[in-house]
Amino acid sequence: MADIVYVDQEDGKKRVMNNAKLYAKLLGKFRNETNFDLLFDALEGGNLEEAQGQAHTIKGITANLSIKDLNQKIVELEAQIKAGSVDPKIIEAVRESIAATMPEVDKVVAENA
């Protein structure tokens, strides 16, 4: 599992012209403002339209910030939502990725703030 990339800091910094402080600021906003509960509540409530919107937003943010593992899981989740059938295993995989990603986000923010 050591080869899982949660936050690709180098790629993320390149996306903001190697401005480490800006990258840290954007990661901090992601950490504090991304409401994953909206996604999970929509899924649990069977509101696939809302869930797809939330997944799409998170997909874009994670791609832009180079939050690799979570992005891959969200891409898969969004595809399943669009197909109208969501495997509970992907929901659990997203939850696990969020739990593993946030400490990495915090570490990068602390290193570059």
pLDDT of residue 2: 57
Mean pLDDT confidence for 50-72: 97
Q: From CA 77, how far away is CA 51, in angstroms rounded?
A: 9
Matching CATH number, 9-112, of 1.20.120, 1.10.3470, 1.10.10, 1.10.1740: 1.20.120
As a whole number, mean pLDDT of residues 12-17 equals 96
Structure confidence at residue 3 (pLDDT): 82
- pLDDT above 70 as % of the chain: 98
Assess contact for 77 and 86: CB atoms under 8 A. yes
The pLDDT tens digits of the residues spanning 28-49 come to 999 998 999 999 999 999 999 9
Q: What is the mean pLDDT of residues 60-79?
A: 97
| pLDDT at residue 1 is higher than 60 | no
Q: Find out whether 50 and 30 touch, Cβ atoms under 8 Å.
A: no
Where in the chain are the domains? 9-112
Which residue type, as a one-letter code, is found at position 15? R
